[in-house]
Chain A
Amino acid sequence: MADRRPDHPLREHARGVLYVVVLAGAVLLAGLTIMALFVWAVA
């Protein structure tokens, strides 16, 4: 398979940051959900 042409650097920057922020957001949301389940179960 032929190598894909690299994207414009700015596009790579934006994509890299976006993925990291989405990942971190997902991690925090997952943590919050699990904690909410525990709090709800105890209440």
Chain B
Amino acid sequence: MSVILRPGADDLRLIGFYLGRVLLGLGLVMLVPTGVAVAAGEWNSASAFVVGASLCVIIGAASDAKLATRRSLTWAHGMVITALAWVIGAIFAGIPMYLSGRFDSPLDALFEGMSALTTTGMSVIHDLDHTPLSEDLYRHLLQFVGGQGIVIVVLSLFAAGGARIASLYTSEAREERILPNFIRAARFILLVAGTFLVLGTAALFVALLVAGFEPGRAFYHAINLFFASFDTGGFSVMQSSMMYYHSLSVEIVVMVLMIAGTISFGLHFALWRGNPRELLRHLESRTLAATSLVFLVVLCFGLLYAGTYSDLESMFRKGLFTLVSAVTSTGHQVNVGDTYLTDWGVMAPAAIVGAMAIGGMASSTAGGIKAMRVGLAIKTLFHDIRRILLPESAVQVTTYHAGGRRRILRDETSRAATTVLLLFIVTYLIGAMAALAYGEHDITQTLFEAVSVGSNIGISIGVVSPEMPNGLMGIYIVMMWLGRLEFVAVFALLGYLVSLARGRAKA
């Protein structure tokens, strides 16, 4: 039997130190909307941001001064810090939101904070259409921070030591010092995100000018729309989401940004290095293309069969936009509330739910099961079928292309991919059942919403609202957290807590 070692005081100091750094960073992020609030004369918002930023900076600086240690950051520390960072981040991010007076309770503000940092995009804010500029910017900026943050974590921590999303990142990476990976990954990600920030905002600005917006208002919408689209977040500055713009050019730019946001940073890297063939060969891009094609065909058939839309423009602007929004896990909406279920027939919503469940690519800001895992599960299925059909003595080797080379499909890779896939499905079902238990919605509504929440999508048919029960809100907060961290970091945290309670002290 293996012996679990109890983490020492130094380990806890290290974790506290880095969580303090996370708070310090969050405090600095809050200074941006503080500046905007002061410039715009939004004094109520400014005071809320000052309180929030001060708390973050004071606690962060105190942990910096008191908890500094010479211990190096390891894989296990990184996992625990990641799991806790999204909880503590959401709590502290929710402080200025609650103080702004636009949320009914601290739980509502926590929900909004978690929704922002996990790039889900579900909102329980009151009177969104009249939210001050600084508060709009803050919610969208949090999506950028949370979105780029998770990519950095995935690339530097989950995929450390050459391990990929396919494996549960254990043996190779456990003893590796992760800080150099973190810095390397952060540099490239911020470079790509920064480039798209400039170009994407400019493109949206022009599209909004064409749509008739004044320059100042066009810029304000463009920057928020960029954060919500490229980071596959899906927040909106208006209650009516994308319907507010009534503009084909805006919708096209947003679709391009959503697709750019769902491409894994591994593929971004290959493209920047002039290797587009990687896109054609990679198991993940092939899986995403194939599954999206199936969902598109089902969607078209469903919409035309139900008679929802009959012309190409409506099919493109409503149907394709929603599918792209679902596949990329963004959650921008071009329909109101539960009309996806009441007006779209049966097959079209099913296609959207399927697309939401699978989500986008690993190591992007997209949520969901991830195309990579689905691709590996399909490969595993065919591998097993061949093994049944062939003689027992025959050697079966299944390969797939990922990370610039051909890899052999190993048992542990298959097991890890299918385990996480199964965990996502169980989470969707638990979320649907929990909402069903409150008796206000039927199974189609609760399943749609549960998949949207668990996959960090954000398309809502109305279950999520400021009036939703507190218990359900709590369950959805946990679902967003689990979905964003793809269970792995949360399990590492649970293991750490068990070892704290039951582990043997180090010699």
Q: Please report A residues at the B interface, Cβ cutoff 8 Å.
A: 6-7, 12-13, 15-17, 19-21, 23-25, 27-28, 31-32, 34-36, 38-39, 42-43
Chain B's closest residue to A22 (CB) is B276
Partner of A16, one of B192, B311, B320, B324: B192
CB-CB under 8 A for A17 and B199, given A12-B273, A39-B315: yes
Asked if A21 and B256 make an inter-chain contact with CB atoms under 8 angstroms apart, the answer reads yes
Residue B255, interface by CB 8 Å: yes
Most chain-B Cβ atoms within 10 A of its Cβ — which of A12, A23, A35?
A: A35
How close is B495's CB to chain A, nearest CB, in angstroms? Answer: 38
Asked if A13 and B195 make an inter-chain contact with CB atoms under 8 angstroms apart, the answer reads yes
Residue B271, interface by CB 8 Å: yes
B339-379 interface (Cβ within 8 A of A)? none
Asked if A16 and B195 make an inter-chain contact with CB atoms under 8 angstroms apart, the answer reads yes
Q: A24-B255, A43-B310 are in contact. List 5 more A-B contacts (CB 8 A).
A: A7-B274, A21-B260, A24-B260, A32-B312, A35-B319
Chain B's closest residue to A39 (CB) is B312
Which stretch in B77-85, B210-218, B232-240, B296-304 binds the other chain?
B296-304
B255: which A residues are within 8 A, CB to CB?
A: 24, 28
Residue B196, interface by CB 8 Å: yes
CB-CB under 8 A for A35 and B316, given A21-B256, A27-B259, A28-B256: yes
CB-CB under 8 A for A23 and B279, given A34-B300, A38-B304, A42-B304: yes
B120-153 interface (Cβ within 8 A of A)? none
B453: which A residues are within 8 A, CB to CB?
A: none
Asked if A39 and B271 make an inter-chain contact with CB atoms under 8 angstroms apart, the answer reads no
B279: which A residues are within 8 A, CB to CB?
A: 19, 23
Q: What CA separation (Å) do A42 and B300 show in the bound complex?
A: 11
A43: which B residues are within 8 A, CB to CB?
A: 310
Q: List 17 A-B contacts (CB under 8 A).
A: A6-B273, A12-B273, A13-B191, A16-B271, A17-B195, A17-B196, A20-B268, A25-B256, A28-B255, A28-B259, A31-B316, A32-B312, A32-B316, A35-B300, A35-B312, A35-B319, A38-B300
Q: What CA separation (Å) do A27 and B252 show in the bound complex?
A: 12
Asked if B276 and A32 make an inter-chain contact with CB atoms under 8 angstroms apart, the answer reads no
Residue B263, interface by CB 8 Å: yes
Q: What CA separation (Å) do A15 and B260 show in the bound complex?
A: 14
Q: What CA separation (Å) do A34 and B320 show in the bound complex?
A: 10
Asked if A20 and B260 make an inter-chain contact with CB atoms under 8 angstroms apart, the answer reads yes
Main secondary structure of the interface of A (DSSP, over half): helix
Chain A's closest residue to B203 (CB) is A21
B315: which A residues are within 8 A, CB to CB?
A: 35, 38-39
Q: Please report B residues at the A interface, Cβ cutoff 8 Å.
A: 191-192, 195-196, 199, 252, 255-256, 259-260, 263, 268, 271-274, 276, 279, 293, 296-297, 300-301, 304, 310-312, 315-316, 319-320, 323-324
Q: What CA separation (Å) do A6 and B269 show in the bound complex?
A: 13
Main secondary structure of the interface of B (DSSP, over half): helix
Q: What CA separation (Å) do A15 and B324 show in the bound complex?
A: 24
Q: What CA separation (Å) do A31 and B320 show in the bound complex?
A: 7
Q: What CA separation (Å) do A38 and B303 show in the bound complex?
A: 10
B316: which A residues are within 8 A, CB to CB?
A: 31-32, 35
Q: What CA separation (Å) do A42 and B271 show in the bound complex?
A: 39
Q: What CA separation (Å) do A27 and B288 show in the bound complex?
A: 11
Asked if A38 and B259 make an inter-chain contact with CB atoms under 8 angstroms apart, the answer reads no
Q: What CA separation (Å) do A36 and B310 show in the bound complex?
A: 10
Asked if B259 and A36 make an inter-chain contact with CB atoms under 8 angstroms apart, the answer reads no
Chain B's closest residue to A19 (CB) is B271
A24: which B residues are within 8 A, CB to CB?
A: 255-256, 259-260
Partner of A39, one of B192, B195, B311: B311
Asked if A19 and B276 make an inter-chain contact with CB atoms under 8 angstroms apart, the answer reads yes
Q: What CA separation (Å) do A19 and B320 show in the bound complex?
A: 21
Most chain-A Cβ atoms within 10 A of its Cβ — which of B199, B273, B279?
A: B273
Chain A's closest residue to B192 (CB) is A16
Asked if A20 and B271 make an inter-chain contact with CB atoms under 8 angstroms apart, the answer reads yes
Q: What CA separation (Å) do A25 and B260 show in the bound complex?
A: 11
Most chain-B Cβ atoms within 10 A of its Cβ — which of A24, A28, A43?
A: A24
How close is A35's CB to chain B, nearest CB, in angstroms? Answer: 5
Chain A's closest residue to B255 (CB) is A28
CB-CB under 8 A for A35 and B263, given A16-B268, A24-B256: no
